[in-house]
Amino acid sequence: MSDIISKLFSISGKTAMVTGGANGIGLMIARGLVEAGVKTYIVGRNVTKGENAAAELAKLGQCTFIPGDLSSLAGIEAVVAELSAKESKLDILVNNAGLLTLQTLEEVDEAGWDGPVNINMKAPFFLIQKLLPLLRASGTYDDPARVINIGSAGGIENAPIEYYSYIASKAGLHHLTRGLAKYLAPDNINVVSIAPGVFPSDIGYEPPIEVHNAIIASIPRQRLGTEDDIVGAVIYLASRAGAFITASMLPVDGGKIYG
């Protein structure tokens, strides 16, 4: 690696936690961090899936699974207690775990509302709150701790589907990012968000081929997002190159996908 690339983009030796890191976009991010030399903790409810993912990633570097349900405060506190027992500081927190319910306006019930709101918006807030001691222990004037919230293009634009609790919680997460960034800047903690466009994962639905083609056609870059796209964005925001970026939202979507 050339000196300038190493100076700007190396994150080797840091410690990270990626929620929902056992599959989908979270697994892509976790693999990228592990390959970049970051000691990485992944969190999720499914123990078998989480332990298998961590075992695979541990072949590439350091990765540990912490089981937990982040939709409740008790679940968040249990995860924070387990991380705090292992680490005295946290350099990178990626709030990635998320949930989407496709319900029409008439169909939305309390569970369909609370599910996405709890994991997409409440969990990132309370995780940041409870992890403040570890984040403050990491952040310095030159190298702040980084919180990277995974929002969504759906939180900033209107998609041609009805998923109200999702878009409200993701819009809330993007604005929460701005509010927390301002408050936490003096503590040397940067808070940013990424707004992914369409990535292949479990959260979406398997659309018929004509719908799939319509999705691709609506994306200016004419393709779905890939692991390199999301990992590149995370490494940028987590490295020296991204140290002066806080309160910002980075779309990773191949263009303004919903017009």
Ligand X SMILES: NC(=O)c1ccc[n+]([C@@H]2O[C@H](COP(=O)([O-])OP(=O)(O)OC[C@H]3O[C@@H](n4cnc5c(N)ncnc54)[C@H](OP(=O)(O)O)[C@@H]3O)[C@@H](O)[C@H]2O)c1
- Give 15's strand partners: 39
User: Which phi-psi region, left, alpha or beta, contains residue 65 (left: φ > 0; alpha: ψ -120 to 50)?
Assistant: beta
Q: Is 46 in the site for ligand X (CB under 6 A)?
A: yes
- For residue 86, the minimal CB distance to ligand X (Å) is 18
DSSP output for 110-171: HHHHHHHHIIIIIHHHHHHHHHHHHHHHH--SSS-EEEEEE--GGGTS--SS-BHHHHHHHH
CA neighbours closer than 13 Å in the CB half-sphere of residue 37 = 8
Q: Is 130 in the site for ligand X (CB under 6 A)?
A: no
Q: Tell which one of 11, 16, 17, 22 touches ligand X (CB under 6 A).
A: 22
Residue of 163, 166, 205, 258 marked catalytic: 166
Q: Is 44 in the site for ligand X (CB under 6 A)?
A: yes
Token pair listed for 189: 């903690």
x/- track of binding to ligand X for residues 68-87 (CB under 6 A) = -xxx----------------
Order of strands, sheet of 249-252, starting from the edge strand that comes earlier in the sequence: 63-67, 39-44, 15-19, 92-95, 145-150, 189-196, 249-252
| Alpha carbon distance 241, 57 (integer Å) | 25
Q: Tell which one of 33, 54, 94, 97 touches ligand X (CB under 6 A).
A: 97
Whether 166 is catalytic: yes
Q: Tell which one of 16, 20, 134, 191 touches ligand X (CB under 6 A).
A: 20
- For residue 84, the minimal CB distance to ligand X (Å) is 18
Q: Is 152 in the site for ligand X (CB under 6 A)?
A: yes
- Site size toward ligand X (CB under 6 A) is 30
Binding residues for ligand X (CB under 6 A) = 19-20, 22-26, 43-46, 49, 69-71, 96-99, 119, 150, 152-153, 196, 198-199, 201-204
Residues known to be catalytic:
166
